[in-house]
Structure formats: C-alpha cells, structure tokens
C-alpha cells in the first residue's frame, strides 16, 4: 500500500463510538479523513470535531443508493470503512425492518456505490489502486454458538434481527470480494467499549449507574440477565485492527477479541468496587431488560489476527472498566466538559 500520508478514508458511522476512535487513529497516521453523515445539520458533527479535530464531512444515507454514489464520487477515497448501523441489539426487535435496511442492505448499497464509481463489472475487474472496503461485522452473528471460542470458520446462528442483518452484510461483502475481485474485508469484532459508548449499552449503563449512585444521584440500578458472558475489549484497540486489515496484501476476514470472557455480574461487581460500592446493595433485577432470545456466551479466538496482523489488545478488562467508571464520575460531578458526553447511538 501507499504511505498513509497520501491516503484518504471515508467512514460511515463516524459520529458513533467506533467511528470516532477510527478517525482519531487514521488522523494520527496522516490520513485525510472524511465522515459520511445524513445531514450537515447533524448536531453530533460539532461534538465529533471537538474530540477529533480535522475531519471533513460529506452527506449520504445508507438508505439511499444515489447519495452513496455521490459521496464516493466526491471524496474519491482510497479506503471506505462501513461502521454505520443501528447497533443497539434490543432496538432491533422494535425496529426490525429498519435494522434490516440500514445494518444489512446498507452494506450492499455501499458496496454497489464503490463498484459503480470504480467501473467494476463481471468483465472489468479492479486494478491495484482500487478502493479498499471494510465492513464492521459482529460477534452477534454467532448467536447460539456451535463452538467456543469462536473463530473465522465458526458457523453463524444469530439470535436477533441485528445479528441477522449483520450476517447478511458479512456475506454480501464476501460475495462482492469473490464475484468482482474487490478488496473487501469483514472484521468480526467482539464487544468493545469505552467512555464514548452510548448510555443504552450495558457496559455504559453499569458505569453510569455506579457513578450516579456514588455521587448520590441515584440509589439503584436495574438490569436484566447477569449471567450472560461476553468478550469485552477497548474500542480504541479495535479501531487499530480495522486499519490493519486494509493494509494487508490480500483481503481476508478476521475475528477481533481478547479471548477472555466475563459475566455481566463480574462487570457490575468490578465497576461498583471501582466506585467504592457493594453492588448487591443497589442492583435490582428487572425482567423487562431480558432479550427475547438471549445470547449466553461469546468468546473470541483471535489467533489469526494475532499471527497475520500482529494485533494484540493493549487495554485489559479491568483497565477498561476503571476507565469508564472514572470518566463517568468526572462527567457527572461536573469536572468534565460538555463535549465529553458519549457519541450518538444513532450514527448511521
């Protein structure tokens, strides 16, 4: 690949947690970074720029094929990172059709935009300077897992409309790679969190809950299934892996995770301990927070990423939870700036 100093990247979902960390990372490498948003008046753009700095914006919508073609024509990127999605799993049951259109069909529309702008067809394959495409796949595709830990060859059995939509996006990316010779890869990322995570996600809900109770702003935290186990890592580490995948000589899919799991109960216990609290005095189980179809255990086997990409996570689970609780204590105590609020969950 060319030196990063001469490269231009287009990121969908740039106002979300992952988009912000990826933009930050690419800018540090000298990239020219563009973000795709649905309108210039998007209130989260100004917050993004306060966090990240020199990001350029173009308009487009994963529901609108024509707008994506126009965006790719305007930006002429070397790399496209498709992070845009309706990414909150419980919401996918409430808005199943929209989730399918954005999280699933949106991937097809972006691939088509790249294909059309690049002039790729069954009779005309891309050259060396083609646009490289990254699709944000998800461990939720494994769902009712067939084996543990999960690797690139583990079969999918998604247990939510979100997981089903992500599976479609994963397979259509693979299909365009095999049908048109496009440099298109999927990163099957396991749960990755940070202080920028939306408040509706369980990790941020727990860190905010512990901080509120510590500061006397609440007395209890209501949660659902405490026995579900996840492979949790730091979003900034996972953003590095995205770029590494597009820097390879050939396109391949990779599982990204820590290879370790903790239960929601362990998450809660450590977060409350970090805040100087006993979680059993404050946590209340509430059935309304239980999924219609639960995913009990997700654990990554990141061997391929470790051996081929040289990627390793740098932040431990304990370091991540500590980072999030301390950040929320600062935020709620008034010592943080207004722009330190988390990024928008609605980032497609």
Backbone angles phi, psi at 152, to 5 degrees: -65, -20
Write out pLDDT tens, residues 6-29: 799 999 999 999 999 999 999 999
Among 92, 93, 94, residue whose Cα is nearest residue 102: 92
Kindly give, in sequence order, each residue whose CB lies less than 8 Å from that of residue 84, ignoring residues fewer than 6 positions away. Answer: 12, 13, 16, 19, 36, 62, 102, 106, 347, 348
What is the pTM (predicted TM-score) of this model? Answer: 0.92
DSSP-derived 3-state class of residue 329: helix
- 104's CB contacts (< 8 A; 6+ apart) are 164, 165, 166, 168, 169
Domains and CATH numbers, the chain: 8-193+232-256 (3.40.50.720), 202-230+260-299+316-347 (3.90.25.10)
Give 254-268 pLDDT, tens digit per residue: 999 999 999 999 999
pLDDT digits (tens, 9 = 90+) for 48-100: 777 777 899 999 999 999 999 999 999 999 999 999 998 777 778 889 999 99
Is pLDDT above 80 for 295? no
What pLDDT sits at residue 318? 97
312 close to 257: Cβ distance less than 8 angstroms: no
pLDDT band, residue 335 (cuts 50/70/90): low
Q: How many angstroms separate the CA atoms of 22 and 37, rounded?
A: 15
Within 13 Å and on the Cβ side, how many CA atoms surround 186? 23
Position with higher pLDDT, 347 vs 213: 213
Q: How far from 116 is each of 106, 154, 263, 281, CA to CA, in Å? A: 15, 32, 45, 58
**pLDDT (0 to 100) of residue 270:** 97
Per-residue model confidence (pLDDT) at position 88: 76
With a cut of 90, say whether residue 181 has pLDDT above it.
Answer: yes
Output the CA–CA distances (angstroms, integers) from residue 307 to 78, 155, 245, 302, in the order listed.
26, 22, 12, 9
Which residues are catalytically annotated? 167
**Any idea which residue has 């009712």 for tokens?**
144
Find tokens 């809660």 and name the residue. 268
Residue 83 or 340, more confident: 83
Instruction: For residue range 147-178, list pLDDT tens digits in order.
Output: 999 999 999 999 999 999 999 999 999 999 99
Please say whether the beta carbons of 93 and 71 come within 8 A. no
Q: Helix, strand or coil for residue 299?
A: coil
């Amino acid at each position: 690949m060319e030196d990063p100093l001469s490269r231009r990247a287009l990121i969908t979902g740039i106002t979300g947690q992952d988009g912000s960390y990826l933009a930050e990372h690419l800018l540090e490498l000298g990239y020219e970074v563009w973000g795709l948003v649905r309108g210039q008046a998007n209130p989260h753009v100004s917050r993004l720029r306060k966090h990240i700095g020199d990001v350029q914006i173009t308009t487009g919508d994963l529901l609108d094929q024509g707008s994506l073609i126009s965006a790719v024509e305007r930006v002429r990127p070397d790399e496209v990172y498709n992070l845009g999605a309706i990414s909150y799993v419980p919401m996918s049951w409430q808005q199943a059709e929209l989730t399918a259109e954005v999280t699933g069909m949106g991937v097809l529309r972006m691939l088509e935009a790249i294909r059309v702008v690049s002039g790729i067809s069954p009779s005309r394959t891309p050259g060396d300077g083609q646009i490289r495409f990254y699709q944000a796949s998800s461990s939720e595709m494994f769902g009712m897992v067939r084996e543990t830990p999960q690797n690139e060859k583990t079969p999918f059995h998604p247990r939510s409309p979100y997981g089903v939509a992500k599976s479609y996006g994963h397979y259509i990316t693979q299909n365009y790679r095999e049908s048109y010779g496009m440099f298109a890869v999927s990163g099957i990322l396991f749960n990755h969190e940070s202080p920028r995570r939306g408040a509706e996600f369980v990790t941020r809900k727990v860190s905010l809950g512990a901080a509120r109770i510590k500061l006397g702003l609440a007395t209890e935290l209501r949660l659902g299934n405490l026995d579900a186990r996840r492979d949790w890592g730091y979003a900034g580490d996972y953003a590095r892996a995205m770029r590494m995948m597009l820097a390879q000589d050939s396109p391949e899919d990779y599982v990204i995770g820590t290879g370790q799991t903790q239960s929601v109960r362990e998450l809660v216990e450590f977060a409350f301990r970090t805040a100087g609290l006993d979680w059993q005095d404050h946590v209340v189980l509430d059935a309304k927070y239980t999924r219609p179809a639960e995913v009990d255990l997700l654990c990554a086997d990141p061997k391929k990423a470790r051996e081929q990409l040289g990627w390793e996570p740098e932040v431990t689970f304990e370091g991540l939870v500590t980072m999030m609780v301390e950040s929320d204590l600062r935020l709620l105590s008034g010592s943080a700036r207004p722009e330190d609020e988390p990024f928008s969950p609605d980032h497609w």
